[in-house]
Amino acid sequence: MSEYVAKLISEVKAKNPNEPEFHQAVQEILESLEVVLDRHPEYRAAKILERMVEPERVITFRVPWMDDQGEIHINRGFRIDMNSAIGPYKGGLRFHPSVNLGILKFLAFEQVLKNSLTTLPMGGGKGGSDFDPKGKSDNEVMRFCQSFMTELFRHIGPNTDVPAGDIGVGTREIGFLFGQYKRLKNEFTGVLTGKGLNWGGSLIRPEATGFGAVYFAHEMLRTKGLDIEGKTIAVSGFGNVAWGAVQKINQLGGRVVTLSGPDGFVYDKFGVKGEKVDYMLEMRASANDRVQDYAQKFKAEFYPNKRPWGIKVDVAMPCATQNEIFVDDAKELIKNGCSCVCEVANMPTTLDAYKVFKDAGILFAPGKAANAGGVAVSGLEMSQNSMRLPWPKDEVDHRLNQIMKEIHNTCLSTAERFGTPGNYVNGANIAGFLKVADAMLDQGLV
Ligand code: NDP
Ligand code: 2IT
């Protein structure tokens, strides 16, 4: 590691204590960018990286709400306005008890480069709350969302910042948030994406992250003369993103043999298909957060408190959350012959586990490239809202597929241009960075 990058990483750590996920994302990205900084001293001179690791703005706020028994609760709300060099801030809202500033900053930092890769004009942001939707009634979730938006509305807008969903935020929550925004601003506008279909949402948005990631994995496999058809695939999680991925894998002839939740994982050697895919939605909506129910209902094997990476598969697609593949998992996957890891969640692989995959020379896609289909279709939803014209399903799916192919090719060509052919992590980080960095140079010292 160069002296400059090492110093910058240690400054980020000193200035942002207790934010290990943010440090992790910064380290991964800066390591990829060393070669760019060597070739382009202008970025160093303009302190582009020093600027990029500092959010343009961070908003934190109190979110008071009342439960069905009349008891008052106070949660913390956040929105990180990370970078607006190439468009309005754009990125999801996460409602999960683990949410804190460091996690949202890592997500916002990744989002800046991801959005740049989509080919669409979107800056990067992220937000959310430590609110736990688990076990809450619809009315409690509504009251929470209304209170959250009562502060957030003054900071967002269709040309300023356009939030969407992430863990714990789906169409129901986007509906409550949108309703409150409309009431406060007295305008019907595309201020959030992931909206319901009859009030401005785009077809394919719920499936887009998973669909896009499978298109990406398909492109990666094609570089080795392979494809998804006939492949055995391990998926983790059972949420919105996993659901989209499982559907597209089935359509392309692959077989998903695992799902996971906080309680453990299921191994279904016959494949997660047909009614079992719909059951994923039922399990998620039940808010029980258990995959054991699936194992009982469909007579699959259940492994409590374990991750699915010990099963013999050709491809692994982590779809749950950050840091869910550790060194031992990576070694196990390699030992069992896995030849392709496609990150669908954001940063599911630890830095050390990534090194295991890198050393083994297998295909490895970083989340910011492979899961960019979700935010890309959010960008298409913004276009449709501006035009006031909904596009048919085939058109959105076709555009999504084209965008994923373009991201894939950009990663490969950029990795090659900067001396690490086949390294999708370097390709994604560098290509995402260059567009944002050049826009920042053009716009002066802001
Ligand atoms: P969901 O809320 O639908 O599902 C998330 C799943 O991950 C749940 O099973 C959840 O269980 C589990 N999970 C969440 N946090 C943790 C944790 N700390 N430890 C263990 N398990 C956890 O979310 P999505 O499917 O929308 O998101 C999944 C991943 O995909 C996330 O990394 C997200 O950032 C990423 N992503 C999402 C996009 C989108 O458009 N929604 C776009 C691009 C990426 P539990 O709640 O019990 O913890
Ligand atoms: O991580 C992500 O890219 C998302 N949660 C989707 C963001 C969006 O604005 O659609």
Question: What is the CA angle 142-93-15, rounded to 5?
Answer: 130
Query: 3-187, which class in CATH?
Result: alpha beta
Predicted pLDDT of residue 289: 86
Residue range 339-350, pLDDT digits in tens: 999 999 999 999
Residue range 127-160, pLDDT digits in tens: 999 999 989 999 999 999 999 999 999 999 999 9
Structure tokens at 211: 């669909």
CA nearest ligand 1 atom 21, residue: 262
- From the candidates 90, 105, 114, 126, which is the catalytic residue? 126
**Dist. CA 390–CA 266, nearest whole Å:** 38
Residue 255, classed as helix, strand or coil, is: strand
Residue range 361-382, pLDDT digits in tens: 999 999 999 999 999 999 999 9
CB 265 within 8 A of CB 303: yes
Q: Is 292 in the pocket of ligand 1 (CB under 6 A)?
A: no
- CATH numeric code, 208-361: 3.40.50.720
Residues in the chain: 446
Q: Is 126 a catalytic residue?
A: yes
Q: Is 151 in the pocket of ligand 1 (CB under 6 A)?
A: no
3-187 shares its CATH topology with 208-361: yes
CA nearest ligand 1 atom 6, residue: 320
**Dist. CA 423–CA 284, nearest whole Å:** 35
Pocket of ligand 2 from Cβ distances under 6 Å = 90-92, 111, 114, 164, 166, 193, 346, 374-375, 378
Pure H helices in 118-157: 138-152
CA of 202 to the centre of ligand 2 (A): 14
Residue range 294-305, pLDDT digits in tens: 999 999 999 999
Domain extents for the chain? 3-187, 208-361
For 286-291, which contacts have Cβ atoms below 8 Å and span 24 or more sequence positions? 287/133, 287/134, 287/135, 287/136, 289/134, 289/261, 289/262, 289/263, 290/261, 290/262, 290/263, 291/238, 291/259, 291/260, 291/261, 291/263, 291/264, 291/265, 291/266
Q: Is 318 in the pocket of ligand 1 (CB under 6 A)?
A: no
Residue range 189-246, pLDDT digits in tens: 999 999 999 999 999 999 999 999 999 999 999 999 999 999 999 999 999 999 999 9
**DSSP 3-state percent helix, strand, coil across the chain (nearest 5):** 50, 15, 30
Q: Which ligand is nearest to the CA of 167?
A: 1
pLDDT at position 400 over 90: yes
Q: Which of ligand 2's atoms lies nearest the C-alpha of 372? A: 3
